[in-house]
Structure 1
Amino acid sequence: MKNFSWGHGIIIALGAFIIFILSMLFLFPNGQKNSEMVTDNYYEEELKYQDVIDAKKRADELQEKPTYTQDANGIKISFPKGYDNSNTTVKFVLNRTDDQNLDVKRSEQLDANQSFLIPSKVLKMGNYTLRLMWTKDKQEYRMDYDVIWK
């Protein structure tokens, strides 16, 4: 029988490392799941991100902010009661964190109660990011909410 030398130890360690790396590749291929980009035109949106930062800052400075509630009918977005909705356009995007095909994008008009409803029929159970954007008197505002639809 040969003597065990440091050269043999290096070869065994290198072989064990290669086997470890290959086992990680084949045993855990789930790293490729949920790897969709949030948006297809990521780079164009990145260039105008300062506008998003400014819109979020303006929304944070509001005394009363829009809120959302959930019930069996869907997700209701409510603006403050005294909100003057003239010269206001409201858009929202519901980004599904795990499946881009379940995203919901719309423009809405506020009703007499200064609110609108995202109907439950367009929602699937899971996690969403609600991006609420509105323009009032040529000023843009934006708020993001994490929503779990059950």
Structure 2
Amino acid sequence: MKINWGTGIVIAFICFISFIMYFIISMNTNSKYDHDLVIEEYYKAELGFQDEINKEKNSKNLSENLSWSKTEEGLLISFPENLDSDKISGTVYLYRTSNKKLDFDMPIAIDKHGMLIPKDNMLEGRWNLKIDWTYQDDAFLYKKEIMY
């Protein structure tokens, strides 16, 4: 059977369209290719951005800022030793841009000017660490991209 050039072009178009449709369908249905937003209500969070800027300025004005380290037990967050740890309150947020299901937050619970996040809660890789905390009436914010 002989195929003329018109039939060849139609077959090429059909093959090309099938190829593109295969990738579109596989990218939309395969959970391996999920791309979640970092924050669910992005625009609502954007309205509080000036408060975050003010909190970060307060953090930079501290004589000693927060620090973190990876230990055998997990992630250790150290608070300034010149502050009374009983008056510190807030929340620690840890989230991964690669998988929304691994995100978690926990209230600050300080023991000896430090807070330990168990390694059972964290996988190795890149995490965004955000600590929103208050001391007396002052609000502070610490943000860091960490490799755990």
The 4+ residue runs of structure 1 with deviation greater than 2 A are 32-35
1:86 is paired with a residue whose SS is helix
The reply on whether 1:52 has 2:45 as its aligned counterpart is no
Give the equivalent residue in structure 2 for 1:117. 116
Identity of aligned residues (%): 26
* Alignment of structure 1 residues 65-144 onto 2, 5 Å: 65-111=65-111, 113-144=112-143
Gaps of 5+ in 1: 1-18
Q: Secondary structure at the match of 1:54?
A: helix
Post-superposition offset of 1:138: 2.2
- TM-score, structure 1 as length reference: 0.74
Deviation at 1:84, TM superposition (A): 1.4
User: How far does the alpha carbon of each residue in 1:92-144 deviate from its partner, in whole angstroms, 9 at most, with x for none?
Assistant: 10011200100120102211x21110000011122100001111122210011
Taking structure 2 as the reference length, what is the TM-score of the superposition?
0.75
List alignment gaps of at least 5 residues for structure 2.
Answer: 1-15
| CA positional deviation for 1:88 | 1.8
